Structure 1
Amino acid sequence: MSAYDERPWLALYGDQPADHTLEFDNALDMYRAGLARDPAGVALRYFDGSITRSELDELSDGLARGLLAHGFAPGDRLAVYLQNVPQFVIAMVAAWKAGGVMVSINPMSRERELSYLLKDSGATVLVALEALYDQVGRAVVPGTDVRLVLTTSELEFQTRADERLFAGMTRRRHEGTTDFSEFIAEHRGEAPPPVDLGLDDVAFLTYTSGTTGVPKGAMNTHRNVVFTAQVYRDWARVGRGSVVFGLAPLFHITGLIGHVAVSMLVPTPLVLAYRFEPQVVLDALVEHRPTFTVGAITAFRALLNAPGFDRDQFRSFTSIYSGGAAISPTAEKAFLAATGTQVHNVYGLTETTSPMTMAPFGAPAPVDPTSGALSVGVPIPNTIVRIQDDDGQDLPLGEVGEIVADGPQVVSGYWGKPDETAANLPGGALKSGDVGFMNAEGWVFIVDRKKDMINASGYKVWPREVEDVLAEHPAVREAAVVGVPDEKRGETVKAFVSVTPGATVTPEELIAHCKERMAAYKYPRIVVLLDELPKTVTGKILRRELRG
């Protein structure tokens, strides 16, 4: 038995049990239990519109019956190409009621990407926003297995039509498509027949970002979904009376679990605001007074820097978690000072169905004195996290290696890719691709992605450490560091920085700032100032685009 099997982190759990028993046999039963507890309660809030749990049930029943009438069969895939709108949740539940699998697609996907995702998943149904179908989908669908296209609008289920998001938008029908609401109306009031879903059946396919190759469809099972929903409920203290704010995109694993699944389980209202627009979000926080959310630190930083930000906008929150992008100690302190609320870390991947480690509620994460990294938490219940070398051997506590996770949240594999499954999930444990270490208490610290390591004159430089030092400068809003070719050093360190509004700084000043605080081989030799750093829709900074 290694030090990891002894679970040194258990002492940090407080009143949280070390092991969770699954409360449901599948995610659909989880949803139905929430419905039974509060049928008249609000399930979804969308601007000035709301949908109760019983209404959500009727809508998803009608959609499921319609799907079955059009040949949808157990195990079939339904793809959703939507923003954060109620139709996303309706389609998810309907897919389960019809015995199928939901495929979540990034609404930023263009023709090449959408074509690949539809073909790879073998989806037979596509639910898309009218504008997305018009701009992208119509050119793609004919070459796929999609037999039924349901289109809908972001203007449905609300009447406000905020011009900051919806200016100039109108409804438009497209040839070869069927209106989502009309399709449901044909079968509303009809209940679909019972389905037999097991814990090991796939609930949805979520695609990896494809940074190291083509995107892979992670098979998130009903076991994965039920387990991680319970973890969010218990660790983030989401209970009856809570209100969840959908800050993260619903297509992303964070939104699927940290927003949709946990709101179904508790049950509690989920507030949606179409897509992330800082001032719209700030207004929604005042209107709906949510108590919990989880999102990328880049999104939180954008809110703090938005015109009109006020501490009062965050006063209803009792629990805030951040994942998807590393948090520097400076950013954590700045958030607490600005909002009065402690942001807690959660770390996970698509393949861990969101959480693998979390900071226990109410416990500020420690900072490693050597690297300056803020801990991403301790392993959640039923989960063993190991640090391993390139040969898959456990390293001693405190040593740096690849983070490997094993637990009920780890996916069963990648859709249609047995070789990738064997390589990345050997024996069912996930090789994360992230490099980090665990201290003697069990706190996990991420150093960086393996592929992002910079080799400068034979020395290892981890971009995140340089980024954290840059973040300490008061003029720095965001920073990203990459390695670039250098004749003398092999690689050298290059930083891209966006500046805090109203501040001024020169590249030379930032280089000097780092030089004073870091070993000679680590500090950046080149600093480029940008208005904005490139990011994914989930807020992760795209280093690959900065490498050029």
Structure 2
Amino acid sequence: MSAYDDRPWLAHYGGRPAHQRVEFGTAMDMFDAAVAAAPEDPAIHYFDATLTWAELDHASDAVAALLIARGFRAGDRIALCVQNDPAFVVGLVAGWKVGGVPTAMSPMSKADEVVWFLRQHTPTALLALDDLYEDVVRDILASETDIAVPIVVTSSSLDWQTRDDPRAFAGTTRRRPPDTIDLVSLVGAHRGMPGRRPVGPGDVAVLLGTSGTTGFPKSAQISHANLTFNTQTYRDWTGLSPGEPVLALAPIFHVTGLVGAVTLGMLLRSAVVLTHRIHPGVVAAAIRERSPAFSVAAITAYLGLADESDTTPTEMRPLRLRYSGGAPIEPVVADRLEEALGGYVYNIYGQTETTSPSHIVPPGLRAPVDAETGVLSVGIPVSDTVVRVVDDDGGDLPVGAIGELITSGPQVIPGYWNDPEATATALSGGELRTGDIGFMDADGWFYVVDRSKDVINASGYKIWPHEVELILMRHPDVEEAAVVGIPDDYRGESAKAYVVLRTDGAVTEPELVAYCRARMAAYKYPREVELVASLPRSATGKLLRRKLRG
């Protein structure tokens, strides 16, 4: 027996069950229940447009009927390459209706990434933004003889809405490529739907790319059972009520936005507020207009609201449940956001491989800060979930010891698409080796210190980049910091910091080196500091250290 077998985190459950009874077997069941119970209620708010559950059902029927008519088979992939637009949800549900596997691709992908995606997933159908198709995909389909996508449907980010907000759509026009099928025209002409193809809890509900912080992402096979379990986790652990609007503050082609907005809306029979992209001013306007109760996103989205919009704490008040995932929150940032936006931002933690949350800070509790490392807790494991901290050999470490987090539970995916080697390495025995380094305290709170691949080895000593970043963030002139390892002839590796200054910041690079040297052990402080305008991040706000390492 170890401390993890005792599950000390249960003491913080506040009456929530240790075992969660899942209400729906598949995501399709969740959607059908929403349509049956509330057909005329709003399912999506998109600027000045509102789509009801019945209208969303009709639109997805149209795409499903097209897929069947064009020979789409059960198990085929339908690639979705749109922003936070209604078209994504239409394509997602259509894929489920025909027994297919919706497969999400970032609409910001460049040509090489699109080529890799199409070869990796061999989709039979593609639903893409019209500009992405014309600017990137069309040439790939014409020039790469081994890539073919028989069914191509295109949509415009302007579809459905009529406001044409220049902050979101400056320079955007409807292109309607003549060699593709236009989504809105298809939906307008549709009548009737052929028979559904059944899906089961163990079937793949969606393929989603992992964070890809070390290269091309792996494709996580998220089952319907994974999806329904963690969708319900969001509802039951936050206490959201049916009908309360949900703000999609994270990209819905990523696991956080998909589960914490799209499928959560289905389960709650609540409207999902979509804003095409995460533009702070547009998001602030949507909060004023639609009064969403819940959001989950990378901390950068909340920083954007605080620093780049005109929103006030009073206007933010309807958004009573604000969660941040993707990366641990720095305590100083959490405090600043609470003051600027008038509400506490709760941590939530998980990976694509855990279908979003494995840990959460329950509403009403504040995440503790570890006195020694200065790290804010990412939360406690959710229902039916066990997390252990292990050493390099896989043995359980004692309370407070730093090691790799290993997660098991109903939300852990069965494997990666077409990648048995990665599946065997990361998901052996149904447990996920997260690659995140952290520890559990005596009360069952978990803390993430760093990624295992980011640890710096200086003369045999381990340097956690996050620890150096915390020191830098305490300097009054520093807005953001990222630390990576660089070659060092004497030590093997040393730390280098990339720093973004506040608008009025005037500190110099040598002064920051001296600042850290005065506050850290000799082997830890960064030997170099480089001031930069911004740090490289993924679409979900996750720091991409590999781009700093070159």
User: TM-score band, normalised by the shorter chain?
Assistant: over 0.9
Structure 2 SS opposite 1:43: strand
Q: Distance in 2 between matches of 1:223 and 1:261?
A: 13
TM-superposed CA distance for 1:487, in Å, is: 2.1
Equivalent residue number for residue 122 of structure 1: 122
TM-superposed CA distance for 1:503, in Å, is: 3.1
Q: Distance in 2 between matches of 1:192 and 1:226?
A: 26
TM-superposed CA distance for 1:180, in Å, is: 1.3
Equivalent residue number for residue 481 of structure 2: 479
TM-superposed CA distance for 1:543, in Å, is: 1.1
TM-superposed CA distance for 1:307, in Å, is: 4.9
Q: Distance in 2 between matches of 1:169 and 1:375?
A: 42
Instruction: Supply the RMSD in Å over aligned alpha carbons.
Output: 1.4
8 A Cα contact 2:247 2:274, kept in partner: yes
- Equivalent of residue 259 in structure 1, options 243, 261, 264: 261
Q: Distance in 2 between matches of 1:314 and 1:506?
A: 36
Equivalent residue number for residue 346 of structure 2: 344
* Matches for 1:423-502 after TM superposition, within 5 Å: 423-502=425-504
Q: Distance in 2 between matches of 1:110 and 1:139?
A: 12
The answer to whether residue 151 in structure 2 is matched with residue 181 in structure 1 is no
Q: TM-score when scaled to structure 1?
A: 0.97
- Equivalent of residue 310 in structure 1, options 293, 312, 315: 312
Equivalent residue number for residue 394 of structure 2: 392
Structure 1 SS opposite 2:4: coil
* Matches for 1:494-533 after TM superposition, within 5 Å: 494-533=496-535
Q: TM-score when scaled to structure 2?
A: 0.97
Q: Distance in 2 between matches of 1:322 and 1:538?
A: 11
Q: Structure 1 residues 192, 385: CA separation in 2 closer, same or farther (over 3 Å shift)? A: farther
TM-superposed CA distance for 1:529, in Å, is: 1.2
Structure 1 SS opposite 2:83: coil
* Matches for 1:166-245 after TM superposition, within 5 Å: 166-188=169-191, 190-245=192-247
8 A Cα contact 1:119 1:145, kept in partner: no
Q: Structure 1 residues 402, 493: CA separation in 2 closer, same or farther (over 3 Å shift)? A: same
Kindly provide the CA deviation profile for residues 177-208 of structure 1, in whole angstroms up to 9, marking residues without a partner as x. 111122233434x1341332111100000012
TM-superposed CA distance for 1:141, in Å, is: 2.9
Equivalent residue number for residue 540 of structure 1: 542
Equivalent residue number for residue 53 of structure 2: 53
Structure 1: gaps of 5 or more residues = none
Kindly provide the CA deviation profile for residues 498-548 of structure 1, in whole angstroms up to 9, marking residues without a partner as x. 122233322233233323332222222221111111111111121111113
TM-superposed CA distance for 1:82, in Å, is: 0.4
Amino acid at match of 1:280: V
Q: Distance in 1 between matches of 2:252 and 2:140?
A: 23
Kindly provide the CA deviation profile for residues 107-154 of structure 1, in whole angstroms up to 9, marking residues without a partner as x. 111111111112211210000001000111112235424111001100
TM-superposed CA distance for 1:351, in Å, is: 0.6
TM-superposed CA distance for 1:360, in Å, is: 1.3
The answer to whether residue 66 in structure 2 is matched with residue 66 in structure 1 is yes
Count how many residue pairs are aligned between Structure 1 and Structure 2: 547
Q: Distance in 2 between matches of 1:399 and 1:341?
A: 32
Equivalent residue number for residue 96 of structure 2: 96
Structure 1 SS opposite 2:257: helix
TM-superposed CA distance for 1:494, in Å, is: 1.0
8 A Cα contact 2:313 2:343, kept in partner: no
TM-superposed CA distance for 1:397, in Å, is: 1.9
Q: Distance in 1 between matches of 2:27 and 2:341?
A: 34
TM-superposed CA distance for 1:309, in Å, is: 4.0
The answer to whether residue 129 in structure 2 is matched with residue 147 in structure 1 is no
* Matches for 1:296-307 after TM superposition, within 5 Å: 296-307=298-309
Amino acid at match of 2:158: L
Kindly provide the CA deviation profile for residues 32-70 of structure 1, in whole angstroms up to 9, marking residues without a partner as x. 112222211110011111101111111111211121111
Q: Distance in 2 between matches of 1:443 and 1:48?
A: 42
8 A Cα contact 2:284 2:309, kept in partner: no
* Matches for 1:402-417 after TM superposition, within 5 Å: 402-417=404-419
Equivalent residue number for residue 31 of structure 2: 31
Kindly provide the CA deviation profile for residues 253-297 of structure 1, in whole angstroms up to 9, marking residues without a partner as x. 001100101111011111011011122222222222211100001
Q: Distance in 2 between matches of 1:213 and 1:337?
A: 37
8 A Cα contact 2:221 2:414, kept in partner: yes
Q: Distance in 2 between matches of 1:490 and 1:43?
A: 56
TM-superposed CA distance for 1:175, in Å, is: 4.2
TM-superposed CA distance for 1:213, in Å, is: 4.7
Q: Structure 1 residues 313, 511: CA separation in 2 closer, same or farther (over 3 Å shift)? A: farther
Equivalent residue number for residue 17 of structure 2: 17
TM-superposed CA distance for 1:465, in Å, is: 1.0
Structure 2 SS opposite 1:154: coil
8 A Cα contact 1:126 1:146, kept in partner: yes
Structure 1 SS opposite 2:398: coil
8 A Cα contact 1:358 1:378, kept in partner: yes
Q: Distance in 2 between matches of 1:241 and 1:516?
A: 53
Structure 2 SS opposite 1:432: strand
Structure 2: gaps of 5 or more residues = none
- Name the stretch that deviates more: 354-363 or 390-399: 390-399
Q: Distance in 1 between matches of 2:17 and 2:476?
A: 41
Structure 1 consecutive aligned stretches of length 4 or more whose deviation exceeds 6 Å? none
Amino acid at match of 2:302: F
Q: Distance in 2 between matches of 1:505 and 1:237?
A: 45
